[in-house]
Amino acid sequence: MRRFSAFAIAREALRHHEGWGRTWAKRPPKARYDVIIVGAGGHGLATAYYLGRNFGITNVAILEKGWLGGGNTGRNTTIIRSNYLQDPSAAIYEKSRDLYETLSQDLNYNIMFSPRGVIMLAQTHHEVRGYKRTAHANSLQGVSTEWIEPDRVKELCPIMNIDGPRYPVLGGLWQARGGTARHDAVAWGLARACTDMGMDIIQKCEVTGIDRDGGRVTGVQTTQGPIACDKLGVVVAGHSGVLAQMAGFRLPLESVALQALVSEPIKPCMDVVVMANTVHGYMSQSDKGEMVIGGGTDGFNNYTQRGSFQHIEETLRALTETFPMISRLKMLRQWGGIVDVTGDRSPILSKTPVDGMFINCGWGTGGFKAIPGSGWGMAELIARGHSPLTEAFGLDRFREGRFIDESVAAGVAH
């Protein structure tokens, strides 16, 4: 695989950029693999990447029913943070945030990581108490966050109105090393690295059945024919329940749409990420100048990837009080993604009742920020059968009542 460098860019400029080659290879599926990963989104690609990088397992296929990165990875609002309350959550999200800082160098691909900082606004006294508690917990966990007062919030984001009559800003939880990254670039960089290790990325290949011999997985049935494997990882976000049903078990989650939108591009006016969980709205400004705006999940189960007028109205009605300037902007585009939400608002990274089959799901609205950490832990779980990062997120916690309650830190995943 051609390495990117200043010299390579100069050389290709002289020959009209005709020598770059494909970013990832297009190959037909083989009859058998050591590991099959279902889902070529960020989490699936990261799992495959760390299987190869950390454990030398490269006879891997990543199957995708659509196109690479065309699910939630290409439909999120790119926020990266690790200011979660519970210890297991803080550990995996902080691992992920830390990996994001050097991911461009590791992949030799610019993922446009921008550690611009994330503010979670406290607009009720209940949130003030909750975020101060989280700041203390983060201090014990080694996660760098701090409670800041309203004047500091205004200093960090001057376009904000902190004196709104319904939603005044009482302070915020500030993580200076949080930020954003380019979601498509994360998927493309991981895919490029997987191809470079000899893995097969097979698009337009939908899994239609899961083969078992007794209680052990032996392969999958796909629209491109049967493929055998020793181990199977399922990383398909909102469709996790569908794949689990094929294997003969159920998952404790529900799938709902999460919607977002962007405005027309404007001059730079906001260099931090702001989350306002009281009103279920959050906003940042992209490198192209668009205001990237997201809100809460739909209140009913569905598999739609469309937006709705109701969402625009509900999200922007409250945000315009805190950010009056957005009332003058035109919406450029809107979309939806299918997220899977568990009862405790924490993910599932676990073995399953089928031997040799592993599942990664239940991230709700927090999937993008967790991609490298999730892949690291899931790869270790598949390769070794155990990972300290994933131990607390097993399926058995729902049977045993060991919930990881992140309903506050997850914010909009209510």
- The residues with which 61 forms a beta bridge, in sequence order, are 36, 200
- 105, 290, 312, 313, 368 from 333: Cα distances, Å: 32, 10, 11, 14, 20
Torsion of CA 71, 73, 76, 82, to 10 degrees: 140
Tens-digit pLDDT profile for residues 293-348: 998 888 888 888 887 888 888 888 889 999 999 999 999 999 988 999 998 989 99
State the pLDDT confidence band at 238, using cuts at 50, 70 and 90. Answer: confident
Pairing relationship of beta strands 32-38 and 225-234 according to DSSP bridges: parallel
Closest CA to 173 of 140, 133, 142: 133
Domain 115-179+255-342: which CATH number of 3.40.190.10, 3.30.9.10, 3.40.50.10860, 3.40.640.10: 3.30.9.10
Which residues, in sequence order, are CB contacts of 94 under 8 Å at separation 6+?
Answer: 82, 141, 142, 143, 373
State the pLDDT confidence band at 213, using cuts at 50, 70 and 90. Answer: very high
Tens-digit pLDDT profile for residues 241-298: 999 999 999 999 999 988 999 999 999 999 999 999 888 889 999 999 999 999 888 8
Q: Higher model confidence: residue 343 or residue 21?
A: 343
Q: Tokens at residue 268, please? A: 């730079």
d(CA 363, CA 374): 10
Are the CB atoms for 270 and 157 separated by under 8 Å? yes
Residue 414: the pLDDT is 38
The rounded percent of the chain whose pLDDT value lies above 70 is 98
Q: Is 3 helix (H, G, I), strand (E, B) or coil?
A: coil
State the pLDDT confidence band at 411, using cuts at 50, 70 and 90. Answer: low
Least confident of 29-43, 128-142, 231-245, 307-321: 307-321
Count of CB atoms situated within 10 Å of the CB of 400: 9
Residue 413: the pLDDT is 44
Residue 410: the pLDDT is 61
CA torsion through residues 96, 98, 99, 104, sign: positive
Query: Which residue in this structure is represented by tokens 């058995």?
Result: 396
Closest CA to 75 of 330, 345, 305: 305
Query: Which CATH superfamily includes the segment(s) 27-78+183-253+344-400?
Result: FAD/NAD(P)-binding domain (3.50.50.60)
Are the CB atoms for 373 and 99 separated by under 8 Å? yes
pTM of the model: 0.94
The rounded percent of the chain whose pLDDT value lies above 90 is 77
Least confident of 50-59, 175-184, 303-312: 303-312
Residue 115: the pLDDT is 96
Residues of CATH 3.30.9.10 domain(s) within the chain?
115-179+255-342
Long-range contact set of residues 159-168: C-beta below 8 Å, sequence gap at least 24: 159/269, 159/270, 159/323, 159/325, 160/274, 160/322, 160/323, 161/321, 161/322, 161/323, 161/324, 164/321, 164/322, 165/321, 166/318, 166/321, 167/123, 167/276, 167/278, 167/279, 167/318, 167/321, 167/322, 168/123
In 26-76, alpha helices (H): 42-55
Q: Tokens at residue 305, please? A: 């990837």
- 18, 89, 90, 274, 341 from 280: Cα distances, Å: 46, 21, 22, 11, 16
Q: Tokens at residue 402, please? A: 């060991």
Pairing relationship of beta strands 331-342 and 179-180 according to DSSP bridges: unpaired
Indicate if the pLDDT at residue 91 is higher than 80.
yes
Tens-digit pLDDT profile for residues 381-397: 999 999 999 999 999 99
| Length of the chain (residues) | 414
Indicate if the pLDDT at residue 409 is higher than 90.
no
Residue 395: the pLDDT is 95
Q: What is the mean pLDDT of the chain?
A: 93
Residues of CATH 3.50.50.60 domain(s) within the chain?
27-78+183-253+344-400
Tens-digit pLDDT profile for residues 100-134: 999 999 999 999 999 999 999 999 999 999 999 99
